[in-house]
Amino acid sequence: MKKVLLIATVFVAGLLVGQKTFEAPSTVLHVVTVRWTKDSTPAQRQAALDGVRTMAQNYPGIKRVWLKSIKVQPSDYSAAFVMEFADRKALEDYVQAPAHAEWKKLYDPVHDQSTTHDITN
């Protein structure tokens, strides 16, 4: 009987460990794809991307950033970044935040065009 109980316990534990779980967070993802100006330098482009990290450090509404592009579309765009905001209000307020104004000094001169997608659950 103990052996059957042990086998059943191990089986149930295996089921619980093997279940797929996922989250649907209430944060807001701000996804931006960028086409740089033709005359911008790699150093200027990198400074603009590094500036996203600095902005996140100085604006409490940003929880996380992603800065390394793996694939960007359309083909004439060459960079993308993502900022995760605590909530919709944090995203709305960031437009007027001093950290955003400072970052735009790096970003605006070197980006030709961008697309933005804001996503939440």
Per-position DSSP letters for 1-40, written without gaps between them: -HHHHHHHHHHHHHHHHH-------S-EEEEEEEEE-TT-
- Identify the CA nearest to 31 among candidates 55, 61, 64, 59: 64
Position 58 scores a pLDDT of 97
Position 4 scores a pLDDT of 53
Instruction: Report pTM.
Output: 0.81
For residue 79, the one-letter residue type is: A
d(CA 56, CA 67): 12
pLDDT in tens, 11-65: 555 656 667 777 888 999 999 999 999 999 999 999 999 999 999 999 999 999 9
pLDDT in tens, 64-101: 999 999 999 999 999 999 999 999 999 999 999 999 99
d(CA 75, CA 19): 38
What domains lie within the chain, and their CATH numbers? Answer: 28-119 (3.30.70.100)
